[in-house]
Amino acid sequence: MSQTVSYRPKAGEIPTTPGVYRFRDDGGRVLYVGKAKNLRARLSNYFAPLRTLHERTRRMVTTASSVEWTVVGTEVEALQLEFTWINEFDPPFNVQFKDDKSYPYLAVTLADEAPRALVTRRRGIPGARYFGPYPKVWAVHETIDTLRALFPMRACKDSDYKRAMQSGKPCFLGQIGRCFGPCSGKVTIAEHRAVVDRFVSFMQSQDRRIVTDLTREMNEAAARQEYELAAKRRDQVQAAQAFFEKSAVVLRDSVDIDLFGIEHDELAAAVQQFIVRGGRIRGVRAWTVDKELDVPLGDLVDSVLQNAYGTDESPPTEIVVPELPDDAAALEDWLSGVGRRRVRIRVAQRGEKAALLATATQNAKGALILYKTRRSADFTARSRALEDIQSALGMTEAPLRMECFDVSHLSGTNIVASMVVFEDGLPRKDEYRRFTIPQSTDDTDSIHQVMTRRLARMVIDEEAEPEPDADGVVVQRKRFAYRPNLLIVDGGQPQVAAAARALAEAGVTDIALCGIAKRLEEIWLPDSDYPVIFPRNSEALFLFQRIRDEAHRFAIVHQRSRRKRDISTILAEIPGLGPARVKELLRYFGSVSRLKQASVDDIAEVRGVGPALATAIHAHLRDGAAAAR
């Protein structure tokens, strides 16, 4: 038996945020739905060695053929979404959520003389108003406990309430202040009924204006020196805020919308459609798109909506997207005809819908990263990409080792460069290199310097005599392990010309060279008036883009760390300037050069830096600059 299942995702592919995951079999049937505070930590439990798993868990993971996940903002959102999918898919391995084939509800017994809020799994209580269902009993109790601070309602059982009303003595919960029904003597039946009506109305609308109203009443009571009332309103404000924080996914019961989160780059896009019905997420659809053309986001939204509803799928009355397409009005008319009702396309700017759209976009971002990672790991795709590059660039053999160079700087200061290495189409991070460039006139000069240093190092490595190790074995110790087949620079014709000049000066003629220009994703060769254009969906262009982006990322990280180290080293010499103030100065000015140009008054504006310390910083930097000259 194998150690684990073949479809196990790589640990780095799984996010560490809260979310909900689904295991599916070969036929696409959902076998299990679960939630997690940390998706990576939870899913790693399922992919432990099979012999260590519980029998039921082992049977589930071996029956499944894939696992997928959806990221949410909070644990409560994960819990709510988990319940929705358990109800929708009826997964066979989720029996622990169906202990009695029913789910708990929050019910308000409006037909009673003094209605109360209770937790029940039984539907059909005469005159009761139901809210839910909820996936866990404790979630209903938590909701009731939170809201009873806002709406003091009866909590005792019917038998206790009747006995208390007949005897004139409050029930036990009324005596300890946990029940606010009429038997406590604090309110009348009419007053209690009014509180219940407000509670039901709030549960239906969940109007956030209640926080503003209570805050205003709290301030007014404090101004009148009615501090007990002000404290009561303060507690109610805190209860209302706590309730809304735990109900981020749930919209109003009447809300039926679809939200489309989209993340895209020049070559691909990932789409996450959140389907909200009755105020709750009832489903999620996800797909990726290979883009033949680099279309703007508005045009991409147009294509996505046509794809989503082009097969007679009925759209809801409202669709939330990240950006309106140019033909939004015509698209609304088309969708209205499909759904036989008026459909509006909106961009959410703030509020609950904007927050839910942000969650969908976060999922799309993760899906795009995962799609690219898995596409790069596909051996067939990598082989095809290397063959296409060989053919397009006229190389005698496939570029099994490629090195890409990128330059990064901040307004001409802290100039650094990166070299990333891809072998067989995959990154070799242990062979990445960083370069510091003391002085340069422009990016082309920087590329020339870096390429010259790299080629010189290559020649030294190749001419070095083999050395025996501690065991007497002769090994070739090289700083740069292998000779590349292809050198890539981030840039167009000027950058490629600078790199070609370095190759000529070093006498290297057997290494291919090209550059990738970001604007149109063009591949430039030395002494060529026209670029090589790959199809937008080709594996070769995808590989070029990935190695270029990796070089850019690596250079930016090095440039930022060096900038932070430089300013920290210089400022740490000043008495009275600790790490926190150094960090604030770095955030405020961004570089040593800008800080050197600042006046004493400018420096004194930084939080935590007074006039005396600002004067000391100014003098120290000026003295250091004078000494350097």
Pinpoint the alpha helices (H) of 52-188: 55-63, 75-89, 137-148, 158-167, 172-175
- Residue 222, in any domain of the structure: no
Report the C-alpha gap between 95 and 101 in whole angstroms. Answer: 9
Nearest in space to 454 (alpha carbons), one of 429, 424, 417, 491: 417
Which pair of structure tokens corresponds to residue 412? Answer: 């001409």
Name the domain count of the chain.
4
The conformational region for residue 567 under phi > 0 = left, psi -120 to 50 = alpha, else beta, is alpha
> What mean pLDDT do residues 138-149 have?
68
Last residue of a domain, one of 57, 81, 96: 96
CA atoms within 13 A on the CB side of 71: 21
pLDDT of residue 482: 73
More confident residue, 337 or 465: 337
Q: Is residue 629 very low, low, confident or very high in pLDDT (cuts 50, 70, 90)?
A: very low
More confident residue, 47 or 334: 47
- Residue 409, in any domain of the structure: yes
- Residue 171, in any domain of the structure: no
Nearest in space to 352 (alpha carbons), one of 274, 250, 262: 250
CATH code for the domain in which residue 278 is found = 3.30.420.10
Q: Do residues 346 and 408 share a domain?
A: no
CB 108 within 8 Å of CB 129: yes
Q: Do residues 620 and 512 share a domain?
A: no
- Residue 291, in any domain of the structure: yes
Report how many helices (DSSP H) and strands (DSSP E) the chain contains, helices first. 20, 20
Nearest in space to 589 (alpha carbons), one of 565, 622, 567, 556: 567
71's CB contacts (< 8 A; 6+ apart) are: 15, 17, 18, 19, 39, 359, 362, 363, 366
Phi, psi at 145, each rounded to 5° = -60, -40
Q: Is residue 188 very low, low, confident or very high in pLDDT (cuts 50, 70, 90)?
A: confident
Q: Do residues 422 and 512 share a domain?
A: yes
Q: Do residues 387 and 363 share a domain?
A: no
> What mean pLDDT do residues 13-33 have?
89
Q: What angle do CA 502, 503, 505 make, to 5 degrees?
A: 65
Nearest in space to 430 (alpha carbons), one of 443, 421, 441, 442: 421
Which pair of structure tokens corresponds to residue 525? Answer: 């060769």
Q: 141-150, 243-252, 340-349: which has the highest mean pLDDT?
A: 340-349
- What is the identity of the amino acid at 333? D
Q: Do residues 370 and 283 share a domain?
A: yes
Nearest in space to 255 (alpha carbons), one of 206, 212, 200: 206
pLDDT of residue 140: 65
Map tokens 């993760």 to a residue: 366
CATH code for the domain in which residue 531 is found = 3.30.420.340
Q: Is residue 470's pLDDT more than 70? A: no
Residues of the chain with pLDDT > 90, as a percent, come to: 10
Q: Is residue 84's pLDDT more than 80? A: no
Q: Do residues 358 and 299 share a domain?
A: yes
- Residue 289, in any domain of the structure: yes
Which pair of structure tokens corresponds to residue 598? Answer: 């600042």
pTM, whole model, 2 decimals? 0.47
Q: 386-395, 456-465, 573-582: which has the highest mean pLDDT?
A: 386-395
Buried b (16+ CB within 10 A) or exposed e, 124-146: ebeebbebbbbbeeebbebbbeb
Q: Do residues 510 and 368 share a domain?
A: no
Report the C-alpha gap between 494 and 443 in whole angstroms. Answer: 9
133's CB contacts (< 8 A; 6+ apart) are: 83, 87, 103, 104, 105
Q: What is the mean pLDDT of the chain?
A: 78
Q: Do residues 486 and 598 share a domain?
A: no
Report the C-alpha gap between 220 and 123 in whole angstroms. Answer: 43
Q: Is residue 607 very low, low, confident or very high in pLDDT (cuts 50, 70, 90)?
A: confident
Buried b (16+ CB within 10 A) or exposed e, 371-394: bbeebbeeeebbebbbebbbebbe
Q: Where are the beta strands (DSSP E) in 291-393?
A: 318-320, 344-346
> What mean pLDDT do residues 599-621 have?
82
- Residue 193, in any domain of the structure: no
pLDDT of residue 253: 59
Q: Do residues 553 and 517 share a domain?
A: yes
Dihedral (CA of 17, 23, 29, 32) sign: negative
Report the C-alpha gap between 353 and 350 in whole angstroms. Answer: 7
Q: What angle do CA 385, 497, 494 make, to 5 degrees?
A: 95
CB 273 within 8 Å of CB 282: no
Q: Is residue 95's pLDDT more than 50? A: no
> What mean pLDDT do residues 216-240 have?
81
Last residue of a domain, one of 374, 407, 432: 374
Map tokens 């592919």 to a residue: 13
pLDDT of residue 402: 93
Q: Do residues 264 and 315 share a domain?
A: yes
Q: Do residues 440 and 584 share a domain?
A: no
- Residue 229, in any domain of the structure: no
pLDDT of residue 487: 94
Q: Is residue 411's pLDDT more than 80? A: no
Question: How many CB atoms within 10 Å of residue 540?
Answer: 22
Nearest in space to 151 (alpha carbons), one of 92, 93, 120, 106: 106
**Lowest-confidence region among 100-114, 262-276, 490-504:** 100-114
Q: Do residues 33 and 76 share a domain?
A: yes
Give 412's DSSP letter: T
Nearest in space to 61 (alpha carbons), one of 101, 34, 98: 34
pLDDT in tens, 417-451: 899 999 888 888 888 988 888 888 888 899 999 99
Structural domain of 58:
11-96
CB 401 within 8 Å of CB 427: no
Which pair of structure tokens corresponds to residue 142? Answer: 């938590």
Give 134's DSSP letter: -
Report the C-alpha gap between 91 and 463 in whole angstroms. Answer: 65
More confident residue, 522 or 378: 522
Is there a cis peptide before residue 316, judged by omega within 30 degrees of 0?
Answer: no
> What mean pLDDT do residues 389-403 have?
90
CB 314 within 8 Å of CB 337: no
pLDDT of residue 499: 93
Report the C-alpha gap between 226 and 222 in whole angstroms. Answer: 6
CATH code for the domain in which residue 22 is found = 3.40.1440.10
Q: Where are the beta strands (DSSP E) in 315-400?
A: 318-320, 344-346
Nearest in space to 408 (alpha carbons), one of 278, 557, 299, 535: 557
Phi, psi at 126, each rounded to 5° = -55, 125
- Residue 6, in any domain of the structure: no
CATH code for the domain in which residue 623 is found = 1.10.150.20
Measured in whole angstroms, the distance separating CA 508 from the mean position of its chain's CA atoms is 45
Report the C-alpha gap between 458 and 33 in whole angstroms. Answer: 54
Instruction: Give strand pairing partners of 346.
Output: 320
Last residue of a domain, one of 503, 535, 560: 560
Q: Is residue 387's pLDDT more than 80? A: yes
Instruction: Give strand pairing partners of 35.
Output: 20
Phi, psi at 284, each rounded to 5° = -135, 130
